[in-house]
Chains A and B, each alone.
Chain A
C-alpha cells in the first residue's frame, strides 16, 4: 500500500473521512469483509450462470430506475464516511474493526507524514493502566490520536489507549463519531476514572482549551495545567502518571489568529485562521507535514501516596507543578532534537 496510494489520494480529501477511505482503497485485506466478499462472489457467479442459461433474461433485465438510483445516493450520502464502521463498539465507543481498517492510514501518518521520532521510549511501562499527561497543541486532536497510536505500538500489551477530547468536539456532526470510534473520550473525571478502573491507559491534556487555542507565536509555551484534576484522578485510581512532551503538533495547523464571532454559531470555540485555512477551503484544513518528536518522561513518583492524598490540595498543586515542569523540559528536549520544523 505504502506511499503511492496514500499520498496521491491524500491531496483530494478532507481530514477525517479521508483517512478511512484511503485505508479502504489501500487494499487492506481486512478480515472483517472476508465472509461478505465470499457471499458476493457466489452471488455474482450465480447471476452469470443465470444470464448464460437464460439469454432472454438479459433483454428483459430491468433498467436501473430512478428510485434505485435515489436509494443508492441516499445510502452513500447519508452514511458519509460512516460506512466502514462495524457497529461493534465498546462501552466508550471504540470500534476495533474500524481501527484495524484505519491502521495503515495511522501508520502512514505517524511514520511518513509526520515522521515522528520517539525519545526515551524505554521509560514507558510495558503494561498496566496509566494516566499519560501531555501538552496540548492544535484545535483538532491529532496529537491525542498519534500519541495513542504510538503508545499502542510501543506497548501492545496495554491495549489501545484512549485520549481525552474537549466538549465542543462532541457536539459536531461527523467529527464526533469519528473521534469516538478511534478512541476519543469526552474529557471529564468520571470517564477518566472509569477507564482507569477498567485497566485502560488514558491520555489527558490538562491545558485543555487554553492549550488548544494558542496562536503560532506562543507555541510550546505551556499554559496553566488545570486545577489539579488530573493528579487527583490518578491518585484516586492508584495509577502512575507519565509525562510526555509532544513536539510538532503545533505546526500542523499554525493558527495565526482566531476569530470568535461567527464561530459560536457553528459550534466551535473559535475559527482559526492559518496560512491555508480558510482561504483554500476544506483543503486548507489538511494537516501540514511537520516533523514530530514525542519525548517520554519518567513516571512521576507516587510511591507512598494513596487515594486520601487526593484531598490534600497543597500536595496536588505541588505534583501538578512538577508535572508541568517535566513536560516543559521534555518539550524543550524535543525541540532541540529535531533539526527543523519540516525536516
Chain B
C-alpha cells in the first residue's frame, strides 16, 4: 500500500484527508503517517502518528528519518494555522520556517511528490484585480495579514525549491474559504455571528467551496500525480448581502475608516492583524478561476449557494422572521 505523510494532522484538511485516504480496509487505501504536535482523538489507532515540532531546528533530520523508514511516497503539507494567532512571530516560525524544515527533509528523503495546502488569499484583494484570478496571477497578498504574508513567502520558497529539485512533483492547491456542516474557520465564525459587520457601500461577490468538494480535490491530488498550481474553489460566486440574508444574519455596515479605527484593538488581540486584513477580502473583488482545478480534479459538486445553504442548514442559523 502506498504511504502518505500528512503534516498538520490536526487541521481540518489534514484530519479529514487522513480519514479518507485511510479508507475502511479497502484495497485503494493508503497507509497514513501523521505528523503533528498531538494526535487528534478521532484518528487514534487509525494512523501511524509521529510527534514532531516543525519549529525545532533539529526536525529536518528527524522527519527525513521518518519519511525514509515508512517509505513515504506523497507528503501533504497542511501545517498552517487555521486561526492566525496574535503571536505573529510564532506563526511565522511555524508556517515559513516550518515549511523550510519540511522541504529540507523532503529533499533528503527524495520524496517523489509533495502536495501543499495554500489559500487563494495569496492573490490579495484589491480594487485593481481582474474579475477572475488565474493561477499565474502575481501573488500580491495583503501587507497587513501575517498569515497571508507567510503563505506568499511559502509559495516563493516552493518555487525556488522546486527549481533546485526537479525530481519532486509539487502540487499547490489554493483553496478559497471553505464552509460546510463541520468545518470551523474564520469565515464560518464570521457568518455565525448574530450581527455581522460589513464594510459600508460594498457588496462583493463571495466565493465559497463546500468542505466535501475541497476534500475531494485534495484526495485526487494525492491519488493521482498532478504537478502545478490549482485554484480549488466552488462554482460561482454570490454577493455578500445575499449570503447574509440567506443566513438570517443582521449585517452591520460600518464605514471603512471607522472599521479600521475601532476594530483595531479587537482584531489585533484575536488575530494579530488590523481589521483590514480580513475585511478587504469582503470588500474588493476576490474571485479565483477554478477551471484548471475542475479539469484536473473534476467539477465541484456544490455551487457557492449550495455550499452556504448546507452550512446554514446544519447550524440551524436561519430563524423565521
Contact = CB atoms under 8 A, between A and B. Distances in A.
Interface in B166-214: 199-203, 205
Interface in A171-187: 171-174, 176-177, 185-186
B201 A177 contact: yes
A142 interface: no
Contacts of B134: 190
Given A186-B128, A194-B131, A74 B252 contact: yes
Contact of B131 (A80, A91, A168): A91
Contacts of A167: 127-128
B251 A168 contact: no
A273 interface: no
B284 interface: yes
A341 to B, nearest CB: 34
B51 to A, nearest CB: 46
Interface residues of B, number: 27
Contacts of B202: 173, 176-177
B212 to A, nearest CB: 24
Nearest to B201: A173
Chain A: number of interface residues, binned into ranges: 20 to 34
Interface stretch (B16-24, B54-62, B109-117, B236-244): B236-244
B132 interface: yes
A87 interface: yes
Interface string B216-257: 000000000000000000000111011001000011110110
Interface string B272-295: 000000000000110000000000
Interface string A270-282: 0000000000000
Given A82-B241, A177-B203, A170 B284 contact: yes
A223 B90 CA distance: 53
Interface string B128-140: 1111101000000
Interface string A87-98: 101011100000
Interface string A181-222: 000011010110010000000000000000000000000000
Contacts of B250: 74
A92 to B, nearest CB: 5
A64 B205 CA distance: 35
A87 B241 contact: yes
A77 B255 CA distance: 11
Contact of B127 (A74, A82, A176, A177): A176
Given A185-B131, A191-B131, A82 B203 contact: yes
Contacts of A185: 131
A204 to B, nearest CB: 15
B136 to A, nearest CB: 11
A176 B250 CA distance: 22
A309 B147 CA distance: 44
A78 interface: yes
Contacts of A93: 131, 205
Contact of A79 (B130, B253, B256): B253
A190 B130 contact: yes
Interface in A239-296: none
A173 B199 contact: yes
A89 B205 CA distance: 9
A135 B45 CA distance: 70
A269 to B, nearest CB: 13
18 contacts: A74-B250, A77-B253, A78-B253, A80-B201, A85-B241, A87-B241, A87-B245, A89-B239, A167-B127, A170-B284, A171-B127, A173-B199, A173-B200, A177-B201, A186-B129, A186-B285, A194-B131, A194-B132
Given A79-B253, A186-B129, 7 more contacts: A78-B252, A168-B127, A171-B127, A177-B202, A186-B128, A186-B131, A186-B285
Interface of A: 74, 77-80, 82, 85, 87, 89, 91-93, 167-168, 170-174, 176-177, 185-186, 188, 190-191, 194
Interface of B: 127-132, 134, 199-203, 205, 237-239, 241-242, 245, 250-253, 255-256, 284-285
Q: What 6 A-B pairs come out closest when comparing CB atoms?
A: A173-B201, A170-B127, A87-B242, A78-B253, A171-B127, A190-B130
